[in-house]
A and B are shown apart, each in its own frame.
Chain A
Amino acid sequence: MTLVRHLVRFNLQSLSPVLAVWAGVLLLQAAVLWMGPPAPHADLPSAMRVDLSLDIATIVMRWAMTVVLVALLVQRHLLVGTTAFWRTKPVPRASVLAGTLLSAVLLTVIVPLVWFGGVFLGMGLHASAALHAALAIAGEQAFITGLTLALASVSKNLAQIVVLGVVTVLLYMLGGEATWALPRRPAPFAIVLHTGEWVGIAFWTGTGILATLISVHQHLTLKTARSLALIVALIAVVVLVKRFPPWTVTNAPPVGGASRTLQKPSLSLDLESIQVTSYSGTHNGAVRPEMSYTATLTDPTPGAIILKPINWMTVIQFPDGVSERSTSPSPSPSFVDAGVETLSGQPYASVSAAIGGAVIAEPGDVAATRYRFTFLKVGADTYAGRAAQPATLNVSLDLLAYRYAIIARVPLSVSGVVRGPRYRVEFESTAAIPDGVGVDIRENYVRDWLQAAPTFYLLLNQRLREAVVATNRRESLFRSTLLDFSSMLVNRTRLEVRLSSAGARQVALDRAWLADAELLVLKPETVGRVSTSIRIDGFTLERPAKAPQAP
């Protein structure tokens, strides 16, 4: 233990010039998050673009410095070749391993955890939220540290690590491409994340831990060729797990008793809206022409619960028994920062339920959300031969259910600050805008990587039991992590309510109304999952729009 302590002290002392840079990088990222992005209405469009990339720049700097620190730590006691100084000294390999791991974890994981925990506390988050957000950074650091430990353990210098890193990324990408030829499971990884951020955290930190174990292997055996083989094996495992996740959406708990209608939601596919597109798609690695059918999914059932289709499978069966299957695509960018268009249901009804049934003046169309998606793809050959044949269409859907909840009530006053468990919102100012009012807020909060549904901002007049939806016209946002972790976000938003909008006209919105108003922030909470199917008989590929309406 004394020897390990000596090695850790030696490691830290020998890195002192680099540690000053590391401290500077951590300080810089904290300062950037603390200051937050510029106000979104600032009239500096080109400068703002620079400002808005500052958070990413500081994250990249943190990653780069982590790589440098870990590389230097490992290569203080070189593990490849036969020229390392320590190899002829009476230093047990286990002690070198312990000294390096302790130094690396201390510098690149524990220090950022403690530092950012303190910074986030200082930024007004509750202790649990600050810890959560700091743990996200620590998790990201653990992943990079683990990966660098593995690469540095089989390299002689930083240049070799960079080359190995590039090769690793290329192998990862090539591996990902190669798996496209394999049969797919209809449960892409990003969807799995809806069942809980811990899956993502487990994935990345698990990868980091496995990479660290490769470094442990190299420390204890000094068998470089075998360690390199283990790195390749790890890449293969990561590629396969991402492609064929052991978790599926069905792991999410089913909705139980939240709403009777949810047990069998009366979803329908709007056949009037079907669009047929011909294009070249891929199937089992080969390019072939396809016909693609896109329609909207509607959920006419009002209620507190809204649904988000996350996974579907369509089977079209022809009278002679031949069938074709279409499955949901791989993760879609629309899952990130999802808007109402990705929902099926009545989000405003859900919001109204969350605020105790107050009247909500909605901007624009108040009808059920119509979720547009490609539900069927058939090969051009099938289309040519069976276009007129009436077939049976069966669309199976997995949906996640959400309910809106108020996470903050902010008085519209100069000192308006509200702290929730994972959320802090600060009212900054109101601004007169042509035909309405603008409200500038700053939010510090911990958000899951994938937020399933949009945040709603309402101006509520509690006395009149009336609310107006405020649109977030502009926002600028800083984040604390890049990987699929929860991230500490600092958001500056300009909310606007226009007196001439459709929504505002539904209530007597004027200065007096606003004087009694408060700002409500509502975010979706996951209730669970629900599965259902839609069956359509007599569906024809040729004239789908004229097929009978689903019951």
Chain B
Amino acid sequence: MQYAIETDRLSRRFGRTEAVRDFTLQVPAGSVFALVGPNGAGKTTLIKTVMNLLAPTSGRASVLGVDSRRIGPPVLARIGYVSENQELPEWLSVGGLMDYCAPFYPTWDPVFAAALAKQLDLPVDRPLKHCSQGMKMKAALLVSLAYRPELLVMDEPFAGLDALVREEFSQGILEVTGDRPWTVFVSSHDIDEVERLADWIGIINRGRLELAEPVSSMLSRFRQVEVMFDTDTPVPARVPASWLLPQAAGPVIRFVESAFSDSESPARIRAALPAARDIQATPMPLRQIFIALARVYRLSE
């Protein structure tokens, strides 16, 4: 499999703080990969290290097959980058920003750029300094899409955007994604923001990669399980490792099954809880999975 981004035991330290620790990740080419984690988890540091804005303390990363430390103009011409931390040239208008960026890219498509401006509802003549945060992010997205990059990297692009702008923003990405194969790597602290976009999910916590897999895989293996008993039943001392956050409430034991299988899980549960009267396994939306995992990570700290 081709990977658009690869990291191998990547670490980045700021003084005594290790913002990214032994981070090993593969982002498959053609995927829309969402890296989700709480604020301060190390998402921005990871992206800046991958983009060669920061040097790794140890380990290595590669982007589009090029070592991150060697990322220069030829590779950057194939990458789009949008970040809430980016300082846009606010003295320019939206159109001025397009004029500024166009000569950097041999593949810049002015017709596509104009269409994107229209689609994103951007006022071309308005100075960026007079634009809302949402418009600024959309302008940054526009100048990152207009040359049809092979990889789009977005760091918290939805932060501070209202629902309507978020929708327009996501729609813009999805429509471009529909055109041709490319890779999108997007970070967010809120799973809701990226749920609609992503087909791969990675979870970062305290600088470590806790999980990375296709969304379909996650949705199929996580279930909210409720086991009903006839009498009050405590959680057994030993439960399978795949049961997350088990808790008892009277005659009910609830947990999150992280390795659910339609064919095998009911039997495994009955084996672990022989007195079970009824078992209900409910599919979980990504948001619930993320919250459950976040709780697990917090408890394990």
Tell whether B244 is near chain A: CB-to-CB under 8 Å: no
Scan A467-482; emit 1 where CB is below 8 A from any B CB, else 0.
0000000000000000
Tell whether B86 is near chain A: CB-to-CB under 8 Å: yes
Q: Inside 8 A of B51's CB, which chain A residues have their CB? A: 88
Query: Which residue of chain A is the closest to B91 with respect to CB atoms?
Result: A14
A2 and B48 CA atoms in complex are apart in Å by 29
Partner of A89 from the list B74, B76, B87, B92 (CB cut-off 8 Å) is B76
Partner of B54 from the list A76, A82, A89, A91 (CB cut-off 8 Å) is A82
Q: State how many angstroms separate the Cβ of B156 from the closest Cβ of chain A.
A: 13
A91 and B87 CA atoms in complex are apart in Å by 16
A551 and B204 CA atoms in complex are apart in Å by 94
Q: Inside 8 A of B75's CB, which chain A residues have their CB? A: 90
Tell whether B104 is near chain A: CB-to-CB under 8 Å: yes
Q: State how many angstroms separate the Cβ of A18 from the closest Cβ of chain B.
A: 10
Scan B81-105; emit 1 where CB is below 8 A from any A CB, else 0.
1010111110110001000110111
Tell whether A505 is near chain B: CB-to-CB under 8 Å: no
Contact across chains for A14 and B48 when beta carbons are under 8 A apart: no
Q: Inside 8 A of A88's CB, which chain B residues have their CB? A: 51, 53, 76, 79, 81, 83, 86
A39 and B73 CA atoms in complex are apart in Å by 62
Contact across chains for A83 and B87 when beta carbons are under 8 A apart: yes
Q: State how many angstroms separate the Cβ of A225 from the closest Cβ of chain B.
A: 13
Contact across chains for A91 and B89 when beta carbons are under 8 A apart: no
Q: State how many angstroms separate the Cβ of B153 from the closest Cβ of chain A.
A: 8
Q: State how many angstroms separate the Cβ of A14 from the closest Cβ of chain B.
A: 5
Tell whether A10 is near chain B: CB-to-CB under 8 Å: yes
Q: Inside 8 A of A548's CB, which chain B residues have their CB? A: none
A348 and B69 CA atoms in complex are apart in Å by 74
Contact across chains for A85 and B88 when beta carbons are under 8 A apart: yes
Query: Which residue of chain B is the closest to A10 with respect to CB atoms?
Result: B100
Partner of B86 from the list A14, A85, A91 (CB cut-off 8 Å) is A85
Q: State how many angstroms separate the Cβ of B150 from the closest Cβ of chain A.
A: 13
Q: Inside 8 A of A83's CB, which chain B residues have their CB? A: 83, 85-87
Q: State how many angstroms separate the Cβ of A146 from the closest Cβ of chain B.
A: 25
Contact across chains for A2 and B103 when beta carbons are under 8 A apart: yes
A105 and B271 CA atoms in complex are apart in Å by 81
Scan A1-23; emit 1 where CB is below 8 A from any B CB, else 0.
01100100010011000000000
Tell whether B77 is near chain A: CB-to-CB under 8 Å: yes
Tell whether A397 is near chain B: CB-to-CB under 8 Å: no
Interface residues of B in 88-127 (CB under 8 A from A): 88-89, 91-92, 96, 100-101, 103-105
Scan B270-284; emit 1 where CB is below 8 A from any A CB, else 0.
000000000000000
Q: State how many angstroms separate the Cβ of A546 from the closest Cβ of chain B.
A: 74
Tell whether B65 is near chain A: CB-to-CB under 8 Å: no
Q: Inside 8 A of B100's CB, which chain A residues have their CB? A: 10
| Number of residues from B at the complex interface, CB < 8 A | 26
Q: State how many angstroms separate the Cβ of A531 from the closest Cβ of chain B.
A: 59
Scan A454-487; emit 1 where CB is below 8 A from any B CB, else 0.
0000000000000000000000000000000000
Contact across chains for A85 and B89 when beta carbons are under 8 A apart: yes
Tell whether A514 is near chain B: CB-to-CB under 8 Å: no
Query: Which residue of chain A is the closest to B105 with respect to CB atoms?
Result: A90
Contact across chains for A6 and B74 when beta carbons are under 8 A apart: no
Tell whether A78 is near chain B: CB-to-CB under 8 Å: yes
A87 and B47 CA atoms in complex are apart in Å by 13
Most buried by A among B48, B53, B76, B100: B100
Contact across chains for B48 and A82 when beta carbons are under 8 A apart: yes
Q: State how many angstroms separate the Cβ of B69 from the closest Cβ of chain A.
A: 13
Tell whether A92 is near chain B: CB-to-CB under 8 Å: yes
Contact across chains for B104 and A90 when beta carbons are under 8 A apart: yes
Q: State how many angstroms separate the Cβ of A329 from the closest Cβ of chain B.
A: 50
Tell whether A84 is near chain B: CB-to-CB under 8 Å: yes
Contact across chains for A92 and B72 when beta carbons are under 8 A apart: yes
Contact across chains for A90 and B54 when beta carbons are under 8 A apart: no
Q: State how many angstroms separate the Cβ of A158 from the closest Cβ of chain B.
A: 14
Q: Inside 8 A of A82's CB, which chain B residues have their CB? A: 48, 53-54, 85
A2 and B51 CA atoms in complex are apart in Å by 26
Residues A14 and B72 in contact in the complex (CB < 8 Å), given A82-B54, A88-B51: no
Contact across chains for A91 and B53 when beta carbons are under 8 A apart: no
Q: Inside 8 A of A87's CB, which chain B residues have their CB? A: 53
Q: State how many angstroms separate the Cβ of A453 from the closest Cβ of chain B.
A: 53
Contact across chains for A6 and B103 when beta carbons are under 8 A apart: yes
Interface residues of A in 35-91 (CB under 8 A from B): 76, 78, 82-85, 87-91
A3 and B105 CA atoms in complex are apart in Å by 10
Partner of A3 from the list B53, B54, B103 (CB cut-off 8 Å) is B103
Query: Which residue of chain A is the closest to B53 with respect to CB atoms?
Result: A82
Partner of B92 from the list A6, A14, A78 (CB cut-off 8 Å) is A14
Residues A92 and B73 in contact in the complex (CB < 8 Å), given A14-B92, A87-B53: yes
Supply 20 A–B pairs (Cβ within 8 Å), ascending by A.
A2-B103, A3-B103, A10-B100, A13-B96, A76-B89, A82-B53, A82-B54, A82-B85, A83-B85, A85-B86, A87-B53, A88-B51, A88-B79, A89-B101, A89-B104, A90-B74, A90-B75, A90-B104, A91-B104, A92-B72
**Closest 3 pairs (CB-CB, A-B):** A90-B73, A88-B81, A90-B77
B: residues with CB less than 8 A from A are 48, 51, 53-54, 72-77, 79, 81, 83, 85-89, 91-92, 96, 100-101, 103-105
Q: A3-B104, A82-B48, A83-B85 are in contact. List 15 more A-B contacts (CB 8 A).
A: A2-B103, A6-B103, A14-B89, A84-B87, A85-B88, A88-B53, A88-B79, A88-B86, A89-B101, A90-B72, A90-B74, A90-B104, A90-B105, A92-B72, A92-B73
